[in-house]
Amino acid sequence: MSELVFFSGTMDCGKSTLALQIVHNRTSRGLQAVIFTRDDRAGEGKLSSRLGLVTDAVEVTDGMDLHGHLVGLISRGGRVDYAVVDEAQFLAPDQIDQLARAVDELDVDVFAFGITTDFRTRLFPGSQRLIELADRIEALQVEALCWCGARATHNARTVDGVMVVEGAQVVIGDVDGRSADVGYEVLCRRHHRRRTTSVSAAAGALSPDVLPVTPS
């Protein structure tokens, strides 16, 4: 029975590396994949990992029918055993519906990889629809760490190392959080709430936790 599987995590969880590993393992067994991606940092039509691995992919565009794309390949004599979708959070909800339809009607496995929430801790529409429809949701086991050493659970957007909480949901930037333009950094919930990035933490000593005082 084919499945729609959502592999989710933060930006530093190694999702693209796992996606490429799945492609490698299944290709070595003679299975044929269609790889979809959107807004990969390596450029249009690429699936890349932070380890430097890159492969060609089909760039998903606004309004693209993913189910129709797979049907077209098969109707022209192509073989599709499974599909891999990276940066799935950037897909529209109806495109996630199309992937589910491909699983049910074309009997292909679909492995979708993405981050669940944006820099404001809000669900991406594509990730939300995957959570609603996926046969399985797998939390990626590569542990991402905040600069403080705690488990990183939130994605932060930075400008000159300063965390921002307003702006468009999708802006491509560096993932080290230190870009002079737009960057991203993973933080624990505590430091995301405090808007304390590695850069701002290095600029001064952190204040100790204090309890709120209510005037008598």
Which residues are marked as active site? 87
Q: Where are the beta strands (DSSP E) in the chain?
A: 4-9, 33-37, 46-48, 54-56, 58-59, 82-85, 109-115, 136-139, 154-159, 162-164, 182-187
Place of tokens 């390596």: 42
Contacts of residue 38, defined as CB under 8 A and 6 or more positions apart, other chains included, come to 59, 60, 61, 86, 87, 90, 91
Alpha carbon dihedral 159, 162, 166, 168, in 10-degree steps, equals 20
Backbone angles phi, psi at 144, to 5 degrees: -90, 140
Number of C-beta neighbours around residue 173 at 10 A: 16
